[in-house]
C-alpha cells in the first residue's frame, strides 16, 4: 500500500492569524502554545527516544525477481513506454562506461557516473510534466535524458564545445536546458535545494498546475541549505518535490556516519512535510510515488519529500577511488544481488515485452549511438572567445570592455604564444 506520511498543521481551535485564545475548560487538558501544533498534557515524564521508534517503511512495487507485488495496481505505462524507459537506463549505463574510460584517457577533465541509480532518475522524471521545473544535482543523467536532452547535448557540455549551452564556462556534468525547464547544475553542494524552494514559491504566486522537482543526495542533506529550503517550503506551502537519492555514501562517508535517526525521511516529517520512502531500485515504485507526490504538490500547493533508497555502485567521480573506503566484494554483491536495470528487465521478460535478442541488439545500437555522438563532439570547435565576457550581463560593464580589449591586444601582439584556432571565429570574435 502506498502511504505518504502526513503531518497535520491545521490551526487548532480555529486559530489562523488571530490571537491565541481558548476556553478555561479546554486549558485543563491541553493548551495551544504559539510554538506547537496541538499537544496534550501528561504527568508521565518520558523522553522520546528515536531509536525506539519504528523506521519508516520503504515502498516497493517490483520484487528483486521482477514480480509485481501489488497485483491490483494497474501500471500506467504500456509496453512501448516500458521499453522506452528501459532503453534509457541502458543508454545511461553505456554512456557512463564509455565516458568514464574517455576521461581516464585524458579526452576531457571530469565525469560522474550514476550506476545503480538509473531507475530512480528515470522513474521519477517519467511521472512529471514537461513544464515542471527541474533542479538536478549530478547523477540525474537519466532524468535529463527522459526529459529530452540528447546525446549530442550531453557531449557538447562534457567537451565544452560551441554547442554547449553554458558556453564552456562550467566544468563537465553541469548540464542545463532552458527549453526543457532544467536549471543549470551548480558545483556547490545543496545550493539547488534552496533555489528550488524559491522557484516553487514563484510558481505558487503565478498560479497554474506546475511544480518543481529538486534532486539531491543524502550527503547534501547535511548542508545548511537543505534545512533552510525545507523550512521555507513548508512554512510558505511551496509546490516542490524534494527527491533525495540515499545511495549509501556521500563521497567517502557512509550514511551511518553522516547522521543519526531514521535516514532523511524523518527530517521531512520534522519539518511538517508529507514524506515517503521508496525503493530506488524499483523504477515502477519510484514512478508511482513521484506521480502521487506531484498530485499533492500541485493540488494542495505544498512540498513533498521522497527518499529513494539505492546503492552507489560506481565511484563518487573520476577523482575518487571508492575502494579506499569500501570493499570490492560489497560492490560486487550489490551488482549481482539487485540493480534497477536487471529488475526492470525481469519484469518485462515475464510479460514477453523483452528478450535476450532484443537486449543484445539494443546494447549494440546504443553503444554505436553514444560513440558517434562522442566522436562528433570532439571535433566541434570551442565556444567563441567573446563569451569570456559576454552573455552574462545584458550590456558589458566598463571593466569587462577593458579586459576584452586587453585580451585582443595580447593575442595580436603575441600570436605565436596563443593558438586560438580551435575557438569559433578565433580572435576575430573579440571584434
CATH superfamily to which 55-320+327-378 belongs: Thiamin diphosphate (ThDP)-binding fold, Pyr/PP domains (3.40.50.970)
Alpha carbon 198 to chain centroid, angstroms: 17
User: Where are the chain's structural domains?
Assistant: 55-320+327-378, 385-430
Whole-number percent of the chain with pLDDT over 90: 84
Radius of gyration of the chain (CA): 25
3-state helix, strand, coil in the chain (%, to 5): 45, 10, 45
pTM for this model (two decimals)? 0.92
Backbone phi and psi for residue 312, each to the nearest 5 degrees, phi listed first: -80, 105
Query: What's the pLDDT tens digit per position in 35-60?
Result: 766 777 888 999 988 888 899 999 99
Task: Judge contact between 138 and 111, C-beta under 8 A.
Answer: no
pLDDT of 18 reads 52
Query: What's the pLDDT tens digit per position in 147-197?
Result: 999 999 999 999 999 999 999 999 999 999 999 999 999 999 999 999 999
d(CA 201, CA 419): 48
Mean local confidence (pLDDT), 106-133: 96
Backbone phi and psi for residue 282, each to the nearest 5 degrees, phi listed first: -110, 95
Q: How confident is the model at residue 14 (pLDDT cuts 50, 70, 90)?
A: very low
Task: Judge contact between 200 and 233, C-beta under 8 A.
Answer: yes
Closest CA to 122 of 159, 73, 85: 85
Q: pLDDT at residue 21 above 70?
A: no
Amino acid at each position: 500500500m502506498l502511504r505518504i506520511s502526513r503531518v497535520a498543521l491545521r490551526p487548532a481551535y480555529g486559530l489562523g492569524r488571530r490571537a491565541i485564545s481558548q476556553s478555561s475548560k479546554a486549558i485543563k487538558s491541553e493548551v495551544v502554545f504559539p510554538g506547537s501544533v496541538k499537544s496534550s498534557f501528561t504527568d508521565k515524564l518520558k523522553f522520546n527516544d528515536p531509536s525506539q521508534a519504528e523506521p519508516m517503511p520503504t515502498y516497493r512495487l517490483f520484487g528483486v525477481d521482477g514480480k509485481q507485488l501489488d497485483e491490483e495496481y494497474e501500471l500506467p505505462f504500456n509496453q512501448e513506454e516500458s521499453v522506452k524507459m528501459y532503453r534509457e537506463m541502458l543508454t545511461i549505463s553505456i554512456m557512463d562506461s564509455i565516458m568514464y574510460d574517455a576521461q581516464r584517457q585524458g579526452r576531457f577533465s571530469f565525469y560522474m557516473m550514476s550506476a545503480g541509480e538509473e531507475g530512480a532518475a528515470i522513474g521519477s522524471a517519467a511521472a512529471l510534466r514537461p513544464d515542471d521545473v527541474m533542479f538536478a544535482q549530478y547523477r540525474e543523467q537519466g532524468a535529463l535524458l527522459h526529459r529530452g536532452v540528447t546525446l549530442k547535448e550531453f557531449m557538447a557540455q562534457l567537451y565544452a564545445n560551441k554547442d554547449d549551452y553554458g558556453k564552456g564556462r562550467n566544468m563537465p556534468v553541469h548540464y542545463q536546458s532552458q527549453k526543457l525547464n532544467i536549471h543549470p547544475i551548480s558545483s556547490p553542494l545543496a545550493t539547488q535545494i534552496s533555489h528550488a524552494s524559491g522557484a516553487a514559491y514563484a510558481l505558487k504566486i503565478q498560479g497554474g498546475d506546475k511544480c518543481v522537482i529538486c534532486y539531491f543526495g543524502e550527503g547534501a542533506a547535511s548542508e545548511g541549505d537543505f534545512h533552510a529550503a525545507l523550512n521555507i517550503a513548508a512554512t510558505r506551502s511551496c509546490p516542490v518535490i524534494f527527491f533525495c537519492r540515499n545511495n549509501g555514501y556521500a563521497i567517502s562517508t557512509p550514511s551511518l556516519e553522516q547522521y543519526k535517526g531514521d535516514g532523511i525521511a524523518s527530517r521531512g516529517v520534522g519539518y511538517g512535510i508529507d514524506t515517503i520512502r521508496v525503493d530506488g531500485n524499483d523504477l515502477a515504485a519510484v514512478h508511482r510515488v513521484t506521480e502521487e507526490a506531484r498530485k499533492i504538490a500541485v493540488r494542495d500547493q505544498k512540498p513533498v519529500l521522497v527518499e529513494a533508497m539505492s546503492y552507489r555502485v560506481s565511484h563518487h567521480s573520476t577523482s575518487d577511488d571508492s575502494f579506499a573506503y569500501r570493499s570490492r566484494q560489497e560492490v560486487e554483491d550489490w551488482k549481482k544481488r539487485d540493480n534497477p536495470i536487471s529488475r526492470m528487465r525481469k519484469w518485462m521478460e515475464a510479460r514477453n515485452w523483452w528478450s535476450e535478442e532484443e537486449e543484445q541488439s539494443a546494447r549494440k545500437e546504443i553503444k554505436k549511438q553514444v560513440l558517434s555522438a562522442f566522436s562528433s563532439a570532439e571535433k566541434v570547435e570551442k565556444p567563441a572567445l567573446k563569451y569570456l565576457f559576454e552573455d552574462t550581463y545584458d550590456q558589458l560593464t566598463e571593466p569587462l570592455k577593458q579586459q576584452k580589449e586587453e585580451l585582443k591586444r595580447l593575442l595580436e601582439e603575441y600570436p605565436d604564444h596563443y593558438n586560438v584556432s580551435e575557438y569559433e571565429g578565433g580572435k576575430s570574435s573579440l571584434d
